[in-house]
Structure formats: C-alpha cells, structure tokens
Amino acid sequence: MARYSPKRLFRNRMNLVPFLLLLPAFMVLALVVVFPLGFSLYTSFTPYRLIRPNTLHVWIGLRNYTDLMGNGDFWAAFGRTVLFLTIALNVEFLAGLGIALLISRITWGQRTLRTIMMFPMMFSPILVGYQFKFVFNDNIGILNNALQALHLSDGAIAWLVDRNLAMFSIIFAEVWMSTSVFAILLLAGLLSMPRDPVEAARVDGCNPWQVFRHITLPYIMPFAYIAMTIRSLDVARAYDIVHVMTGGGPAGRTELLWTLIARTGYNNAKMGMANAMAYISILLSIAFTYFFFRKLIAARKFMRGAD
Amino acid sequence: MAEIVLNKLVKNYGRTRAVHGIDLSIAHQEFVVLVGPSGCGKSTTLRMIAGLEEISDGTVSIGGAVVNELPPRKRNISMVFQNYALYPHMNVRENLGFGLKIAGQPAADIAQRVDEAAEILGLTELLERTPAELSGGQRQRVAMGRAIVRKPAAFLFDEPLSNLDAKLRGQMRAEIKKLHQSVRTTVVYVTHDQIEAMTLADRIVVMRAGRIEQVGTPMEVYNHPTSAFVATFIGSPPMNMLPGTISGGAVRLADGSALPVPERAADNAREGQEVLLGIRPDDISPVGHGLSQDGPGAELTLTVAIAEPLGMESLIFTRIAGQEVQAKLYGPRMVLPGEELVFRLALDRAHLFDAASGASLEAR
Amino acid sequence: MDPKLRRQLGRIVSWVLTFLLMMIICVPGLWVVLTAFRPNAEVLAKPAVWVPQVLSLNNFAKIFGFAQEVAIPVPAYFANSMIIALTSTAIALLIGMSGGYAFARYRFRFKDGLFLGLMLSRTVPGIALSLPLFMIWSRLGLIDTKPGLIIVYVAMNVPFTIWLIDGFFRQIPIELSEAAMVDGCTRWQAFWRIEFPLARSGIASAGIFAFLTSWNEYALASQLTRSTYSKTLPVGLMDFTSQFTIDWAGMSAMAVIIIIPALALTFIVQKHLIAGLTFGGVKG
C-alpha cells in the first residue's frame, strides 16, 4: 500500500468551523457594540458637544473624568443607582423565593399561576413605567383613589413627588416587572429537586427550617444565579421606567446614572461628558454581570458534582 | 469484499495519546470484537473506522481503499450506537428508511427493503410507532434494522447491549449472532463485557491503554493468554494470580511453600525470576468435586472463608500463601465457612507470567 | 395545635397570599386595559368613578385615525414595530443558531472567554450605547431608518439567543447527528434533518424572546428614530405626553395595542422558555 500522508489543510479547516459559525455574531457585535464603545471611549477624552462639531478633535485627556470626581450630582446619581440596584435585586430575590415556595406548594392551577407570573416579564419597561405612573398619579391614580375611597387618607399623597415616595414608587415598578424572573427560575429549581436528599435530611433529624436552609436553598442557588445573571444583563432597562414615571425629577430626586447620562448627552448636548459617565455605568454593569456569572459557573460545577 | 485494515492507527487528544499505533486486519465477513476496560481506546478506534473521529496518524482502509479523508457517509458502513441514537421525531419506518431516503432511493424500493428488514427483526408490527413508544429491546432491534437496511460493507457496534438488563442482553446476543449468520457482513463490535466477546466473536481483540494486548479466537485467548492482563480480563470469575519466585525448578510462594512450574512454561522460566502463577477458579477444586481429576496437580489443604452456592456449583473464597483466591466446587454440596478441605490444583492448566512485564512464559 | 387544623390553616394562608399576589400582578394592567375603553372625562373625574359608565372603542378609533383627530400616526408606528421586530428576530435567529451550534457542538480555543465576552456585550446599558451609536449612525445616514434600528436589535438579541439555542442543542444527544452522518448525511444535512427539527420548538421560543426584546425596546429607539418612517410603538407612546397634559385614555389604548402581542407570545412560549433558561444555565 502506498504510504499515506495526511492533508494538513483539511485538518486546519476543521478547526476553523466554529470560528466561522461565530463570525456573523461577532461581526454584528463589533459594528454595534465594540466599535461604538471604542468611539465613545475616545469622545470621553474630548469636550465634544453636539452643537459644536469641532470640539470632537480637542483632546483634553482625563478632564471629563476628573470633573466627574468632583461632581456632586453625578455621585448622588451613582449612589442612588447602586442603592436602587441593591434594594431592587434583593427584594426581587426574596419575593421571588417566597413566590416560588408558595406556588410550589399549590397543586391545583399551578401552571396557570406560573403563566400569569410570566406576564410582567414580557411587558415593555416603557409600559410598566406608564402603568405605574398611572397607578401612582396623585390626582387620578388608582392607588390614591382607593385610599381615599377607603378613607385611609384624606388628601392626595404625592407618590411621585416626595423624595422617598418617588424612589419607593420606582423601585416598586422595577420589582413588579422583574421579580418573575427570579420566581420562575427558582420555581423550576424547586420542581426539579430530587426528593431523596430532603427525605434523607428528615430521617437524619432536620426540622423543616433546617431542611430548607441546608438542603433546599443550596440546591436552588444556581437557579438564583441564572436569574441574577439574566437580570444583570438588563438592569439598565430601569431607565425606561424612570424616564416615563419621573424623568429623574422632580429636581433630580430620582435621578439615576442612566437618566443623568441621557440628560447630559441629549438635552445638554455634552456628549464628551456623557460618554465619560456612560463608561462608568458600563463598568458598573460589567462588574455586576461578571460577579454573578462567576458565581453561576461555580454553582454549575457544584451541581455537576452531584450528578 | 470488505476487509478492514488498520495500519499504525494513532489518536491524540491534545497531548495525550488515546490510541498507540494499532495494526489489525479484519477479514471479509469476519466478526471481530474489540474488548477491554473503559478508556482502553476501543471506542475511539471504532469511531475512527466510522469516520466520526479524526485520525491523528496511520490509516484505515475499507475494501482495499484508504478512507482517512472520507466522511462517514462515503465509507459504506453502518453503526449501532450505545444509546441506539434513534431519531425521536421519526417513527420506526422512517428511522429504518432514513439512510435510503438520503441516498435518494425510490420510495417503492425503500418500502420494500424496510419491510424486509422489519421482517428479519420482527419489527413489522411496530413500524408506525415512535421510538418513545418502544421498549429497550425493541429500540435495540430498530437500531440494528437501521444498520442492515442499507446493506453496507461493514457493521460497527459500539457497546450496543450495555443499556439492557441482563436477561435481555443474553437474548439480544443470540439475535446478533443469528443476524450475522444470515446477512454475512464484516462486523466490528466494541464491548467491555468479556462474555459478549467470547460468545459473539470469530476473533477477539483485547485492548489495554490504547494498545492491542492480544488477538485471537475466543478459545485461543481463553486458553493461551499472552499476558497476565488478558488472563485476568477474559474469563469470569477472573484467573487467580499467585506471586512467587522461580527457585529450584519450582514456584516458591510468599509463605515459602512451593508449587511445580507448569509444564508449558518450563522452558522459559529462569532461576530467580519473579513470576505470577495464574490458575482459573475452575482449576482449583476440592478433591472429588473438580473438572479434571488426573494429570499433574498439587493438593493443598485450605480453609474456606466464604462460600457462594450457585446451585450445581459453588464459588469458594479461600487463601493460598496469604493471597486471596477463588475456587470452584462442582456438585450440589453445601460448604460452610471455616471448613477445611483438600483442594486439587490442576497445574497442567495453570499459566506462568513474568511479574514485571506481565508477559506469558508459555512456550510457543 | 391539632396537625390537621394546622394543615388546613396553612392551606388557607397560602391561598390568600396567592390571591394577593395575583392581584398585585394583574390589577395595574387590568386597570390600564379598562381605561382604554373609557372616555378621558371619566378617567379624570373626581371623586373617582369605579364602575365604568361608558365603554367604547372610541379611543382605539381615535388613535387609528378613524375619528377627526389624527394627531398620532399609530398605524405607521405599528407597522414599523412589526417590520423592525420581525426582521431583526429573523436575522438574530440565523446568527444565533450558527453561534449556538458552534458553542454546543465544537471544542475550540478561547471558548469560555468568547462566551463571557458575548454575555458582557449584552450588559452595556442601552442609553450608554445610544450616545456613540447616535453619533456614528448619523454619519452613516442610519438615523431614522428601519435598517439602522434592525442592526442594533440584532446585536442586542444575539448574545441571549446564542445562550438559549446553545442550551437546546446541547439537549440533543450528539449520537443522533453521528448516526445521521453514518446513514449518509453530510454534516449540513444532519443539522437540517435531525438537529434542527428536534431543537425547533426551543429555537422558536428564543425567537419569541428576541421579538419581545425588539418590540419592547425604548432607550435606543428613542434616540435613533425621529419620524413616522422608523418610530416604534414604545417611542410613539411618549407622543401622548406633552409638557403638562397626558391623554390617559389614548395612551391606555395604545398600551393595550403594545401588550396584546406580548401576552399572546408569552402564553405560547412559556414552557420552552423556562426549559431553555434552566438547561442553558445549569446543565451548561
């Protein structure tokens, strides 16, 4: 038999296939995400204003960033955003867990309940914002109307005007929209959980709380991390809600990073400064996502160990 | 003609080598079984023959032509997978006819050949069912039907029976044997179960750690294992191995007692060599309850540790020179732990292996 | 306490909680839907009118231009939304299938890194991305065009689509496509005849999810669109608010129009979506 020599080209082509398959995805992302972000990184080092195009070529180094360091409004918005995310995500997790536990106990109509639970997830954030602007409206809102009809309150409560109440209203809308992500995934986790470990723990003398704490909760945590990861991908959707409900006002009392970016960039036309803020908000988002993604990977490994 | 020739076949996964240059010729219409413990490279070898795994070096030829660069569909083979790989969205008829349909055969031909195959395998009643509606044995049969319907040059089986329960496995083993006798095609069959290998194969290929350990007919492999590994892998319960040293023409065991060197290894045993004396449980039996009563042998008095009655025979666990060994007692006799019995070792059927390399010292 | 009584009580408590929960989820939406059928006068009445006196389709007729006031071109917005969401979903699905298949079926260098990069690209807040996109798109002449928004939505949907589809392909045993290749298929044929039909429902739900993301998006659309040529429904919804007044009834009617496709699709997709999210995430 003739000595056979393998064709190197063929092998190399085999290894290229996955990259070719991924090429369209990365091309689109390069055009829409990577390249624009590169551009905005550049503009964040210029005093670029939309109305004065020449300013795009003026290099001012880190001045936008150093200006931001001393900008009280920016830091207020930054702190408010972190607070908003922390409260919203924690409430969503706890409420989602509660709802999942509640529904996992109900045998009749469980599927219908689950479907209804998914509806808020599918609402446009702009609609959620509108809906709650309507609900919390001081004059004609259903909430004030109901409170007055039940004589729980005499005058109109200024839900969207008072500093704390406005923040509460926005967080409520956000939680309303996003809790179902947690509830549904945690419910899926609860329903897929094997019975044996729970029964083993009971035989070993655990009380219901200990069973929950040491068996159920660790089992469903990976599901919580998936939910957290999914949520951290789109936390900035809260911009839409705030934009509709209060527009960051009144007088900046509900200003979040994202509404501040929009105001600085579009209303005040200070694109360079807005891009500098945007970069900080991007880093914040990436930090959130990366954190949960690592947890998810770790939890996944843990799960695989049990298979 | 569809002989399959593997020439210095190598598979690397990154830096680790899974298959170390295998040479093997499989004759036309031969039933060859690749057997070995998991991770020995037998499935990888089969998948390289099928074209599902890239060949790192060496060649595979089918019917005289090198097929290294040919995709699976051009190799004229069919394969039965461990989990059957039935297409869940097609019924049995569509599953059987899929390969012919892809090949562009006319519908009437497909229908006829599917019916034929269904007839052979007793699937006629099940043709309209989907895989989900079938039992394990029925799925197994459909997978085989899908293989024979295309009349390929060779069948490849990748552990096809490992998902069945013991009883069904025995039944399907017989069916595969019958099938091979009726369709007469080259078969390469991979399994980790030495019983399947013994019962099905024309020739057995015992593999270990990516290398071929021994090739031979089932009886050759059973009676003349070329290494201690093959000796312990083929046959159940496994062959007992007693470590010892050659001293004065005898095998001296750990406790100082000596057994004569088996005759077939007498020429090759060197004085002072570290060896393993291999003897199957069937060849250690209480006097009067064994298979062979004459020929050279040794008699030892041993204490029974555990006895497992199996009906017409019992498996006895005991110790020779501190080494745990298994022995067989033929006949319906109850043995109790602690009982002392005189055992006869049929040394004409014993083997001797070099302790370091594991190679058999049998003269050839 | 008697265990039987306690169990009974527990059941009642859980039913009450469930009822409250469903109220919180449903009432705001239902109130908006109800408002869509009521005249503005009744919505604004003080004290509040709880039981509607008049229910009519007037608000819908008005926003669809059947009445005398044709202030807001809702049919155009609706058409824009449909075209943009459907096109971007179709493209995102093709790209997502190709990418998801690569992640599910191949081993290659930098695989984990690429996957993470993909996910991180999705985390960039829409409003932060809109600034440079606005500048670049205006130079490319893509502002206020449908293709301009379609490209953006494709990019927004690709990462999540790949994640979901990767999960669905992984559930299909690799032996099936191997068997098909031994049976005479090319890899391409094996994909379309075996793997695609088996993943079809999962891919469909990924598509529905992508559609909803595009359908619902506001932050980018509000900056990248200007006129009836490309404005989408969520952007159009803000047409109803002027500095000091809000047409609550008209806005509610439009909200209903935006909600209906979302609700219908949610209902269809729910089962697969949950499966996709959990498989993709946990089993990955």
**Tens of pLDDT along C19-57?**
898 888 888 888 888 888 888 777 777 767 777 777 777
Q: Could you give the strand order of the β-sheet that contains B340-345, starting from the edge strand earlier in sequence?
A: B284-286, B340-345, B298-303
pLDDT for the residue A306: 39
Residues of chain A above pLDDT 70, percent: 93
Distance CA C256, CA B361 (A): 88
Mean pLDDT for the stretch of residues B95-116? 92
pLDDT value, residue C279: 57
Residues C9-15, mean pLDDT to the nearest whole number? 86
Shortest alpha-carbon distance between residue A8 and chain B (Å): 11
Q: Which two tokens stand for residue B255?
A: 């406790």
What pLDDT is attached to residue B30? 94
| pLDDT score of A3 | 39
CB contact set of A105 (below 8 Å; sequence gap of 6+): C14
SS3 B247: strand
Residue with tokens 């809600």: A241
Contact state of A21 with C25 under an 8 Å Cβ cutoff: no
The residue-averaged pLDDT of B147-175 equals: 89
- Would you call C72 exposed, middle or buried from its count of C-beta atoms within 10 A (0-12, 13-18, 19+)? buried
The chains in contact with chain C, meaning 3 or more Cβ pairs closer than 8 Å, are: A, B
Angle at C209 between CA C204 and CA C210, to 5 degrees: 95
- The pLDDT > 90 percentage for chain B reads 55
A72-306 is classed CATH 1.10.3720.10:
yes
**What digits encode the pLDDT tens for the residues A97-125?**
999 998 888 877 787 888 888 888 888 89
- How is residue A160 written in tokens? 């969207």
Residue A186's identity, in one-letter code, is L
pLDDT band for C5, please (50, 70, 90 cuts).
Answer: confident
Q: Which residue of chain A is at minimal alpha-carbon distance from C93? A: A25
φ, ψ at B330 (rounded to 5°) = -95, 135
Contact between residue B52 and residue B130 where contact means Cβ atoms under 8 Å apart: no
Which of these ranges, A85-94, A242-251, C42-51, C156-165, has the smallest mean pLDDT? C42-51
Residue B35 contacts by C-beta under 8 Å, 6 or more apart in sequence?
Answer: B42, B190, B191, B192, B193, B194, B196, B197, B204, B205, B206, B207, B233, B234
Structure tokens at B4: 């399959």
- When pLDDT is cut at 50, 70 and 90, the band that residue B197 belongs to is very high
Q: Any idea which of A229-243, C45-59, C231-245 has the lowest mean pLDDT?
A: C45-59
**Mean pLDDT score across all residues of chain C:** 84
- Backbone dihedral region of A269: left (phi > 0), alpha (psi from -120 to 50 degrees) or beta? left
Instruction: Select from B5, B9, B11, B69 the residue whose CB has the most chain A CBs within 10 Å, as the one to mutate to test that interface.
Output: B69
Interface contact flag, B73 C183, Cβ < 8 Å: yes
Q: Do A1 and B61 touch (CB under 8 A)?
A: yes
Give CA A76 to chain center in angstroms: 20
Query: CA-to-CA distance for A286 and C121, rounded, in angstroms?
Result: 9
pLDDT at A10 exceeding the cut of 70: no
Query: Cβ separation of B83 and C181 shorter than 8 Å?
Result: no
**Residue-wise pLDDT tens digits, B323-336:** 999 999 988 888 88
Q: Rounded to a whole number, what is the distance in Å from the CA of A304 to chain C's nearest CA?
A: 8
DSSP letter string, A268-291: S--HHHHHHHHHHHHHHHHHHHHH
Strand, helix or coil for residue B337: coil
With a cut of 50, say whether residue C201 has pLDDT above it: yes
Give the residue-averaged pLDDT of A152-158. 76
Instruction: Specify whether the CB–CB gap between B253 and B246 falls below 8 A.
Output: no
Q: Is the pLDDT of residue B36 over 90?
A: yes
Terminal Cα-to-Cα distance of chain B (whole angstroms): 33
Closest CA to B189 of B199, B200, B175: B200
Average pLDDT over residues A172-199: 88
Residue to mutate among B77, B102, B146, B190, with most C CBs inside 10 A, is: B102
Quick: pLDDT tens for B203-248: 999 999 999 999 999 999 999 999 999 999 998 899 999 999 998 8
For Cα atoms B200, B204, B210, give the angle at the middle one, nearest 5 degrees: 130
The predicted-structure confidence for A57-77, as pLDDT tens digits, reads as follows 888 888 888 888 888 888 999
* pLDDT (mean) for A132-159: 80
| Predicted confidence band of residue A6 (pLDDT cuts 50, 70, 90) | very low
What is the distance between the alpha carbons of residues A71 and A84, in angstroms, rounded to a whole number?
20
Partner chains of A (3+ C-beta pairs under 8 Å): B, C
Q: CA B82 → CA B8, B114, B133, B191, distances in Å?
A: 26, 22, 19, 10
Chain A contact set for C234 (CB, 8 A): 124, 126-127, 240
CA distance B200 to B204: 9
Q: Would you state the structure tokens that stand for residue C28, as one six-digit string?
A: 């705001």
What is the reported pTM?
0.82
HSE-CB for A46 with a 13 A CA cutoff = 17
Q: Is the pLDDT of residue C180 over 50?
A: yes
Q: What is the mean pLDDT of chain A?
A: 83
Q: What is the pLDDT of residue A302?
A: 63
CA atoms within 13 A on the CB side of A254: 26
pLDDT > 90? residue C83: yes
CB contacts under 8 A, A 8-47 vs C, are: 15, 17-19, 21-22, 24-26, 28-29, 31-37, 39-40, 43
CB pairs under 8 A, 24+ apart, for A110-116? Answer: A113/C18, A113/C22, A114/A184, A114/A187, A114/C270, A115/C266, A115/C267, A115/C270, A116/C22, A116/C25, A116/C26
SS3 category, B346: coil
- Work out the percent of chain C whose per-residue pLDDT is above 90: 25
- Contacting residues for B108 by C-beta, under 8 A, at least 6 apart: none
Q: Where are the domains of chain A?
A: 72-306
| DSSP summary character for residue C132 | H
- Higher per-residue confidence, B292 vs C75: C75
pLDDT, tens only, C238-281: 877 765 677 788 888 888 888 888 888 877 777 666 666 665 55
Q: ipTM higher than 0.90?
A: no
